[in-house]
Structure 1
Amino acid sequence: MWTKEVSINGLFDFDYTLLRFSFDPLVDLNCDERWVRIPLRMGSEKHIIKVQALGTTEEPKFRIQGYDEEKQEELSARVESIFLWDRKLDSIYRFYQQTRLAPLFDQYPGTPIVKDFNPYDALMKTIIHQQLNMKFAYTLSTRYIQSFGEEVDGVWFQPQPEKVASLDYSQLRKLQFSQRKAEYVIDTSRMIADGKLHLGELAGLSDEEVFRILTKIRGIGPWTVENWLLFGLGRENLLPAADIGIQNALKKFWGLNAKPHKDEIYKMGEDWAPYRSYASLTLWRSIES
């Protein structure tokens, strides 16, 4: 086993990250001991990496542990990329001190963007979860992963595109997927498996170019693209203004009588660019309790 310790200069609220991870019943973690075990694929190899917090939000420090010593450097880099530890959240905090959201950032400092463990997994989860309440959304994605994924030492690896591409729509219908959602998941996976859609190439494109490409795919709309850009690629400037959670959070924060319209939110969000993703996360956080 190899071990590496990482210290960060600035803010990082790992305990909140664990809380968000805990929404998914298949993520192996312990909030009291402050660790999570992450499934990582490298080709056909499956690796499990444990990340544990040792420090505080103000002085973050982490221990990373894995088993394949020959792959330590690459696996460690993958972990650091997921948690985006190179981002300077102190600068984000100072930026928002000049906006109307300053009180929220005072209340929830160091709220980080943390990516899902794999871009394909993130896209499938976003498609599955779209237009569903959170409880049933995770019920559905849990059934999907347990039916077609693989559990290794207590950690679940989601099914690969080739596996999902080989499924029949009826196999997802048995899990309570709607016919359309089953088609969206399987047909998009077939595009990826057949080489017609390259998620790795999308990562190198602008947000606008990703929108243009993905929204041409049946079953993928703006909400799905925005959430995938945020949680799949870790982009900093996403504001899903049509999201009910964002609308409810702003209604609560400003004491409004009704939820603001998405056009109003986009307008007020102009002051939050180029870091609108942090506004989105902090707004969601303000109503999650």
Structure 2
Amino acid sequence: MWEETVNISGPYDFDLALQRQSIDPLNDVHIESRTINIPVYESEAEVVSIQAIGTTDKPCFLIKGKNEQTKAHVIEQVYKIFQWNVTLDEINNHFQQTTLNEIFMKHRGTPIILDFSPYNCLVKCIIHQQLNMKFAMALTENFVHTYGFEQDGVWFYPSPDKVAEIEIEELRSMKFSQRKAEYLIGLSKLIASGELNLQELATKSDEEVTKTLVKIRGIGPWTAQNFLMFGLGRPNLFPLADIGIQNAIKKLFNLEKKPTYEEMENFSQDWHPYLSYASLYLWRSIETAE
């Protein structure tokens, strides 16, 4: 067993991050103890605990793991997943001069949290396409419970190799559409065969990543943008086709109907180079009525 205490620059609202993470039934979140236990996908699966022991303005965390040999790499992964190297204060200052000022003040310190692996992110994106959130969550949970595995109370997604071997009829019996089953198995086959290398893809530009992904059946711009944002942590993505962002802009600017793509691009001119955070805070603005 090992543990490490980490201090980062504030503001960083881990309690709010945990609330958002708790929406996904696959996540092992403990609000009262300010803790989340996450799967780390190494050669051997490992569960790591992250507990907040600081405040929003002075964030401090206690990380606990079991394998001393992988400690350095696990901490690196945790930094990436929770975006601890991103200075949210700098981003907040940027948005003080924009039309999103009030939203950023109200939800100050909201971090982007990445999916626990790039493959998981793509799987979730494909499953969630054109589904309401409740059904999408239930379908994803059933998929992971059926083909993944549990360790120390934490669920791990199945590997691409395993998903590549699933028969389409099996997913159809779980209420996957024919096309979505084909998309998920097809993607997994590309990764399992080495034709699509997600580690290599992560080193490329946003444009190169998008160009590569949209060639894959079942992946369009919305999925590619969400992968860039929540799979790779890229800071400047604004999914124009996202209904939540459209609704948030409609509400913010008191529009009579949902904005056009051109209107959204006009509104967002001043939000560069942090469009991903604009997207997150816009989502956040319609998630709560507080």
Structures share fold, TM-score greater than 0.5? yes
**1:70-108 Cα deviation digits (max 9, x unpaired):** 221111111111111011100000000111111111111
Corresponding position of 1:212: 211
Q: Which residue of 2 aligns with 1:30?
A: 30
> 1-side partners of 2:261 and 2:129: how far apart?
17
Deviation at 1:219, TM superposition (A): 0.5
Q: Any idea what the Cα deviations from partners look like across 1:41-95, whole Å, max 9, x if unmatched?
A: 212x010000011111111111100111222111111111111101110000000
- Residue deviations 1:255-277, cap 9 Å, x none? 22211112211222221111100
Alignment of 1:13-92 (within 5 A): 13-43=13-43, 45-92=44-91
Q: Secondary structure at the match of 1:42?
A: coil
The reply to whether residue 201 of structure 1 matches residue 218 of structure 2 is no
Return the alpha-carbon distance in structure 2 between the equivalents of residues 204 and 267 of structure 1. 30
SS at match of 1:196: coil
Residue aligning to 2:148: 149
3-state secondary structure, aligned to 2:45: strand
Question: 2 CA distance for matches of 1:229 and 1:63?
Answer: 28
Deviation at 1:195, TM superposition (A): 0.9
* 1:254 maps onto 2:253 in alignment: yes
CA displacement at 1:114 relative to structure 2: 1.3
- Measure how far apart 1:287 and its partner are: 0.8
Letter of the aligned partner of 1:175 in structure 2? M
Looking at structure 2, the residues matched to 269 and 206 of structure 1 have their Cα atoms a distance apart, in angstroms, of 21
Task: Describe the SS at the equivalent of 2:3.
Answer: strand
Query: Which residue pairs with 1:221 in the alignment?
Result: 220
TM-score, normalised by the number of residues in structure 1: 0.98
Query: Separation in 2 of the partners of 1:105 and 1:95?
Result: 10
Per the alignment, residue 96 of structure 1 pairs with 95
Q: Which AA in structure 1 matches 2:161?
A: E
Q: Extract unaligned runs of 5+ from structure 1.
A: none
When the two chains are superposed, the root-mean-square deviation of aligned CA atoms in Å is 0.9
3-state SS of the aligned residue for 1:52?
strand
Q: What TM-score, normalized to structure 2?
A: 0.97
Q: Which whole-Å CA distance do the structure 1 matches of 2:224 and 2:133 have between them?
A: 18
User: Who is 1:272 aligned against?
Assistant: 271
Partner of 1:230: 229
Q: Does 1:138 align with 2:172?
A: no
Describe the SS at the equivalent of 1:63.
strand
- Paired with 1:217 and 1:29, the residues of 2 have a C-alpha distance of 33
SS of 2:76's partner is helix
SS in 1 for 2:4: strand
Residue 12 (structure 1) shift: 0.8
Note if contact 1:241-1:263 (Cα within 8 Å) is conserved in structure 2.
no
Show the counterpart of 1:184.
Answer: 183
In 2, distance between residues paired with 1:74 and 1:214? Answer: 27
The answer for unaligned runs of 5 or more in structure 2 is: none
1:280 partner SS: helix
- Residue type of the alignment partner of 2:181: A
Please state whether the residue corresponding to 1:51 is helix, strand or coil.
strand
Looking at structure 2, the residues matched to 98 and 146 of structure 1 have their Cα atoms a distance apart, in angstroms, of 46
In 2, Cα distance between equivalents of 1:18 and 1:98: 28
Percent identity over paired residues:
52
Deviation at 1:280, TM superposition (A): 0.2
Q: Is the 8 A contact 1:4 1:65 kept in 2?
A: yes
Query: What secondary structure, in the 3-state scheme, does the structure 1 residue paired with 2:218 have?
Result: coil
Residue by residue over 1:216-237, the C-alpha shift from the partner in whole angstroms, topping out at 9 and shown as x without a partner, is 1111001000111100001100
**What SS does the corresponding residue of 1:218 show, helix, strand or coil?**
coil
Whole-Å separation in 2 of the counterparts to 1:173 and 1:263: 38
Contact (CA 8 Å) 1:36, 1:52: kept in 2 or not?
A: yes
Report if the CA contact (8 A) 1:99-1:272 is conserved.
yes
Is residue 167 of structure 1 aligned with residue 151 of structure 2? no
In the alignment, the residues of structure 1 paired with residue 42 and residue 113 of structure 2 have an alpha-carbon distance, to the nearest angstrom, of 20
Q: CA deviation at 1:10?
A: 2.0
Residues 167-222 of structure 1 deviation map (CA, whole Å, 9 limit, x = unaligned) = 11011101100000000000010011011111111111111111111111111001
The one-letter amino acid of 2:282's match is L
